[in-house]
Structure 1
């Protein structure tokens, strides 16, 4: 009975963790640039006779989301593979979200974090018109007019998504912690935002399946309790 109860509790804990992951994916189905979290179940030995099933991170989905036109020049989407580079207090972090803005100092930011260029943060001068090339090059026509001037280029990277891990801030970082190098092959398109790559139907079906699994684990716990009570009655009758 003890082994049955332990197995049921371990399974129920794993299912609850998986349900939380699926719920987070579903809650971000409309979040621009969101990457769906993947799950991996692994066995964790806690004693010579006990093994607990544990939900581990299998990284994030590399599938591209749908592109939605916005008509805004600083709304950018990465074509196919690649990531934007952001600068945080802990170092570089990476994202597919491309809703870029200018702070009061003219610095390019995304979600309040500086956007990294090839040579550091990107600070734009006052301009009359702004252009973003396919390779991430940012050019402007100065406020006073004149010829087009190149003011910087986005740092675009292209890691293997299996090597990336998502932090609590929703940003991606390499599992080994080493900053990524820029990749000239990554391209962007201006005037579009990439939607979430969460498959809502698939996540919903998986959540329903997990709910049924949880019910099974609860029934096993009740069975273990009934067996334990029956065993105690037999001992009391002896």
Structure 2
């Protein structure tokens, strides 16, 4: 009975963790550049006498779905989307990190930022002067026409990288990083499109169906726990009556 209970609890715990991942995906279905999380589970066979072939579910760190999201036209100068594979680089407190989100902004000093973090350029942070027009080329080159007119000036170039996504993991801030702190090099093959954003790659219907299936699994596991309790109570009655 205890074995049944522990097995059911293991499955129910795994199901709740998977539901949390699916709920987070649904909450970010409209977040630009968001990559859906995937639950990963490994079977763990108990060792030792008396366990037989008992197998419990052991949750692993979540994976990340790498398919591209839909391209959305915005017409905004500072909205940039990557064509095909690749990543933008941003500077965080613990080093360089990578993202597909390209809704950039400018701070009071004219520095290009993403969610309050400096956007990494090929030659360091990118700072824009006051300008009349802004253009970001397919290779990430940032050019401006000064506010007082004159010649178009190149003020920097976005650092665009294309490391193997399997070597990176997504942190709680939604940014991708190398586990060993490595920094990805500039990749000249990565191209961007100005005036567009990449949407989330979450498919809401898939997530809803997965959540429904997980809910059914949880109900089954709860029933198994109740059955284990009923069996334990019946066993106790037999012991007391003997």
**Fold match by TM threshold 0.5:** yes
Select the residue among 114, 120, 123 that pairs with 1:116. 120
Q: Distance in 1 between matches of 2:109 and 2:97?
A: 22
Is structure 2 residue 239 aligned with structure 1 residue 212? no
The aligned runs of 1:71-86 (5 Å cut-off) are 71-86=75-90
2:185 equivalent to 1:185: no
Q: In the alignment, which residue of structure 2 is the partner of 1:176? A: 180
What CA distance in whole angstroms lies between the structure 2 residues aligned with 1:162 and 1:40?
Answer: 14
Contact 2:42-2:57 at 8 Å conserved across structures: yes
Report if the CA contact (8 A) 1:19-1:210 is conserved: yes
Contact 1:60 1:164 in 2 (8 A): no
Q: How does 1:15-164 map to 2 (within 5 A)?
A: 15-44=15-44, 48=48, 49=51, 52-164=56-168
**Structure 1 residues 12 and 153: alpha-carbon distance in aligned structure 2, compared to 1, 3 A threshold:** same
TM-score (norm 2): 0.94
Q: Counterpart of 2:14?
A: 14
- Unaligned segments of structure 2, at least 5 residues: none
CA offset digits 1:84-133 (Å, max 9, x no partner):
10001100111111011111101000111100001111111222211100
State the alpha-carbon separation in 2 of the partners of residues 78 and 175 from structure 1: 24
Contact 1:18/1:55 (CA < 8 Å) preserved in 2?
Answer: no
**Residues 176 and 209 of structure 1, relative CA distance in 2, 3 Å threshold:** same
Count of residues in Structure 1 that have an aligned counterpart in Structure 2: 238
Instruction: Output the CA distance in 1 between the equivalents of 2:45 and 2:171.
Output: 26
CA-CA distance at 1:225 after TM superposition: 0.8
- What is the alpha-carbon root mean square deviation over aligned residues? 1.5
d(CA) in 2 for partners of 1:7, 1:179: 42
Q: Report the Cα distance in structure 2 between the residues aligned to 1:177 and 1:200, rounded to whole angstroms.
A: 33
Moved over 6 A (4+): none
- Structure 1 residue 45: Cα displacement: 6.6
Using the TM superposition, give the Cα deviation of residue 58 of structure 1 relative to its aligned residue in structure 2, in angstroms: 4.2
* 8 A contact 1:82–1:186 mirrored in 2: yes
Judge which range, 84-93 or 46-55, deviates more.
46-55
Unaligned runs of 5+ in 1: none
Deviation string 1:161-184 (CA, Å, 9 cap, x unpaired) is: 222211111111123321111111
Q: CA deviation at 1:57?
A: 2.5
Does 2:201 correspond to 1:165? no
TM-score (norm 1): 0.95
